[in-house]
Amino acid sequence: MSFRLNNLQFSFPAVILWALLVSSLPLRAADRLTLTLGDLGGEGWQVSGLALQVDLQPSQDRYILSAEEIRHPALPGPLRMFRFDCRAGKIAGRQISCREGLLDLTLNGQKMAGIKSRIDWKIDSQVIDIQLDDIPLSNGKLAALINIERQQWLLSLKGNGLDIQRLGTLHAALAESVERFSLSGRLGLSATLRGVGAQLLQGSSRLDFRDVGFADASGSYIGQGLAGQWQGEAVLSKGQWAGTQRLALNAGELLAPQLYLSPSAHPLSLETAYRYRADRSLISLEQFRFRQPERLNFSGAAEISLLQEPQLISLNLTSEPADLAGLFRDNILPVLANPQLEDMELAGRFALDISHRADDSRIRIDLQDVYIEQGMRQRGDGQGQFALYDLDGEINWSSKRARESRLSWQGGHLFGGITLGATDVALNLSGDRVSLVNQANIPVLDGELRAEKFELERGEAGPMVRFQGYLTPISMAAISSAVGWPPLAGQLSGMIPGLAYEQGVIAVDGVALVKIFDGEIVIRDLQLDDLFGALPALSADLELKDIDLETLTRTFSFGKITGKLAGRVTDLRLEEWAPVSFDAAFATPAGDKSRRRISQQAVDNISNLGGSGVSGAISRSFLRIFKEFGYDRLGISCRLERGVCHMGGIEAAERGYYLVKGGGIPRIDIMGFNRETDWQVLVSKLKQIASGESPVIQ
């Protein structure tokens, strides 16, 4: 017996009721009924090429339901080549059931065959229950429970061992995500979906994943070996979706441009409660919480617009006090390609408070007992090039209007031994600019650096700094002790009319003045490159005025010389604080009215520097009865090039040059004969003189 219907619109219950009425006609056992129903459809669903074949048996019924295509909102895509073969079922009264069936179908080009199936179909209540087991999906297995009651439906899924890469074959959106982020790994799935007709009303799901990896096209965001769990739920109410979700990671690594996370070492979780308004394409994160014990915990709320590209509309974020040392070492430092920061140590605690709106953004950072030290490995002596201790304060930044920030520290140092005292600083931070509110006094050794102006601004090529201030007198004895020099006498002070930092270069605007050895050193065109880096370099021009020779020579155990000294150093360049080139000349200034005397020890030392070879000659002659000698002028010059000092004196002589030209009685002249001297040899002689030893002449 065979019937055929085509292109009719029915509800599922009406179709089944009609089929049962036909199948209830008087039929003999082993008779076959075939219904060709054609294309059927209703609200939210559509079936093409539907056919039903029934074989009536004495103990059980067998029937085959087939369709060319089935579409339903509970399905991830259209089912094609659908064939349900019930081998042990029952068609009786107002119910169809099947306790043993096999299902074949094709989903998005992926063929699935031999799916174990069970069905229970009650016509009066219009309830359909379907159970599918061992569905082959993405190299794993999936089980599904489907319940349909009139227009309402429920879908439950459970899957294990699903290959993420192959999930892209199920849906175009999944395929795009898998390809775009190079997704890989394995999933376990548990999900429940509820709806009416074509409308999804509620959903909940859980994913257990392992060995997950991903990377975006630019390589900025990378994950590998990730394992954990994601679960969430959502409900549609009054046109808005509301739900929660929780992500927990306990293994693997995550890399982003600003942060590195290692869930293997420190498991983390992210929880959110959200609402989605489709009419405004707006996601409201009513609450989110990030937890990574022993590292960083924060919570807040946000709004994100999805009209075109995702855009942050508002954000409120507050963190709990966090350990700065671990966060910097484990989470921030790995993504910073900066050797200076790699040689930095941080300790202490900090807390964040962030507020963002369309018209203004604000950030507050609270610092407590912070310790900063940079350059320890470079120096190799256990002390960094820069350090601050017991740093406390509150940093307030605003994108629009400046808000005052205050910082204070109890101590610190520069280059190991130059100590910095307790300081309190007030700053304004807004936009890309930081400026000093009022003068800050920073104790340096036994003096002070008084900062009158400080500005930091971000430019296209990096940060730019402007500074103006002056240095109150610092004893040279304190400086020499701090940097390991021989004991020096006098004081160091100076004006810094303007200092600028840009693209890693520090330059002093105008002329800087340093007072030392009762005279002055004028510094022009001072420039510092990579100050705290691996290869710091300095270049400048210097002019010496009225340096007191008695103070200078007493400081370096050179032997007593009285009088004044003037001179200049042009094209000076230091690399790693050692001279590599300069052109220098020092001499008695014209018009010097001071008393000019020189001791025997000074005569010997100057002779050795000039290579005259007369060391100790005075002590072996009648001149030994004189402790000091008068002189008219003295001076020396050196042009350093490629490790060689090209030497000269105050004027040329018949066979060399004058280093000291005598005057008065007794008179003594000191001549120099070496025109070229190895710079390291000359430095060695100066060190021997400074330590009070007699230089070795070779």
Q: What is the DSSP string of 620-668?
A: GSGGGG-SEEEEEEEEEEEEEETTEEEEE-SEE-SSSEEEEEE-SSSB-
For the cut 50, the answer to whether the pLDDT of residue 431 exceeds it is yes
Give the pLDDT of residue 21.
45
* Banded model confidence at residue 617, pLDDT cuts 50, 70, 90: very low
Question: Of the given ranges (2-11, 60-69, 622-631, 676-685), which has the lowest mean pLDDT?
Answer: 2-11
For the cut 80, the answer to whether the pLDDT of residue 7 exceeds it is no
Give the pLDDT of residue 646.
94
Q: Which of these, 643, 647, 641, lies nearest to 671 by C-alpha position? A: 647
Tokens at 359, concatenated: 């018209």
pLDDT averaged over the chain? 83
Backbone angles phi and psi of 329, in degrees to 5: -70, -45
Last residue of a domain, one of 107, 137, 167: 137
Tokens at 193, concatenated: 């979906």
How far separated are the first and last CA of the chain, in Å rounded? 126
The pLDDT of 542-555, averaged and rounded, is 87
Give the pLDDT of residue 402.
77
CB 209 within 8 A of CB 185: yes
Domain count, the chain: 2
Please tell me the distance from the alpha carbon of residue 537 to that of residue 526, in angstroms, as a whole number: 11
Give the pLDDT of residue 211.
95
Let me know if residue 15 belongs to a domain. Answer: yes
Tokens at 321, concatenated: 């006090």
Please tell me the distance from the alpha carbon of residue 82 to that of residue 605, in angstroms, as a whole number: 107
Question: Of the given ranges (258-262, 377-381, 426-430), which has the lowest mean pLDDT?
Answer: 377-381
Give the pLDDT of residue 310.
84
Strand partners, 599: 628
Give the pLDDT of residue 290.
96
* Banded model confidence at residue 616, pLDDT cuts 50, 70, 90: very low
The pLDDT of 187-215, averaged and rounded, is 92
Sign of CA dihedral 456, 459, 463, 469: negative
Please tell me the distance from the alpha carbon of residue 199 to that of residue 589, in angstroms, as a whole number: 98
Is the pLDDT higher at 44 or at 60? 60
Percent of the chain with pLDDT over 70: 86
Sign of CA dihedral 649, 655, 660, 664: negative
CB 671 within 8 A of CB 654: no
Is the pLDDT higher at 96 or at 115? 115
Let me know if residue 673 belongs to a domain. Answer: yes
* Banded model confidence at residue 174, pLDDT cuts 50, 70, 90: confident
Give the pLDDT of residue 4.
43
Q: How does DSSP classify residue 487? A: P
Give the pLDDT of residue 622.
44
The pLDDT of 496-507, averaged and rounded, is 80
CB 150 within 8 A of CB 210: no
Q: Which of these, 567, 591, 545, 569, lies nearest to 640 by C-alpha position? A: 569
Q: Which residues of 259-273 are buried (b: 16+ CB within 10 A; e: fewer)?
A: ebbbbeebbbbebbe
Let me know if residue 19 belongs to a domain. Answer: yes
Strand segments, DSSP code E, in 139-281 are 140-149, 152-163, 184-196, 199-215, 222-237, 240-255, 260-261, 268-277
Task: Name residues whose C-beta falls within 8 Å of residue 568's C-beta, 6 or more positions apart in sequence.
Answer: 541, 542, 543, 544, 584, 585
For the cut 60, the answer to whether the pLDDT of residue 695 exceeds it is no
Let me know if residue 628 belongs to a domain. Answer: yes
Other CB atoms within 10 Å distance of the CB of residue 219: 8
The pLDDT of 472-501, averaged and rounded, is 79
Tokens at 356, concatenated: 């963002």
Please tell me the distance from the alpha carbon of residue 153 to that of residue 13, in angstroms, as a whole number: 14
Give the pLDDT of residue 338.
66
Distances (CA, A) of 563 to 252, 262, 491, 546, 668: 73, 68, 18, 9, 16
The pLDDT of 531-539, averaged and rounded, is 77
For the cut 60, the answer to whether the pLDDT of residue 20 exceeds it is no
Give the pLDDT of residue 449.
92
Give the pLDDT of residue 192.
95
Which range, 291-295, 348-352, 545-549, is most confident? 348-352
Tokens at 2, concatenated: 């065979």
Strand partners, 149: 127, 152
Task: Tell me which residue range forms the domain holding 86.
Answer: 1-137
Give the pLDDT of residue 74.
65
Tokens at 597, concatenated: 């005397």
Q: Which of these, 428, 429, 426, 430, lies nearest to 440 by C-alpha position? A: 426
* Banded model confidence at residue 260, pLDDT cuts 50, 70, 90: very high
Let me know if residue 211 belongs to a domain. Answer: no
The pLDDT of 100-124, averaged and rounded, is 87
Question: Of the given ranges (31-40, 335-344, 473-482, 537-546), which has the lowest mean pLDDT?
Answer: 335-344
Give the pLDDT of residue 319.
95
pTM as predicted: 0.72
Q: What is the CA radius of gyration of the chain?
A: 44
CB 398 within 8 A of CB 429: yes
Last residue of a domain, one of 84, 118, 137: 137
For the cut 60, the answer to whether the pLDDT of residue 653 exceeds it is yes
Give the pLDDT of residue 383.
65
Give the pLDDT of residue 2.
39
Is the pLDDT higher at 313 or at 75? 313
Let me know if residue 219 belongs to a domain. Answer: no
Let me know if residue 97 belongs to a domain. Answer: yes
Last residue of a domain, one of 116, 137, 158: 137
pLDDT in tens, 669-678: 888 888 898 8
Is the pLDDT higher at 660 or at 559? 660
* Banded model confidence at residue 557, pLDDT cuts 50, 70, 90: low
**What is the biggest distance separating any 2 CA atoms in the chain, rounded to whole angstroms?**
154
Sign of CA dihedral 570, 575, 577, 578: negative
pLDDT in tens, 113-127: 889 999 898 877 778
Is the pLDDT higher at 611 or at 95? 95
Give the pLDDT of residue 613.
43
For the cut 50, the answer to whether the pLDDT of residue 17 exceeds it is no
What is the total residue count of the chain? 698
Sign of CA dihedral 66, 68, 73, 75: positive
Q: Which of these, 90, 92, 81, lies nearest to 115 by C-alpha position? A: 81
Strand segments, DSSP code E, in 256-340 are 260-261, 268-277, 282-292, 296-305, 311-319, 322-323
Give the pLDDT of residue 610.
60
Let me know if residue 550 belongs to a domain. Answer: yes
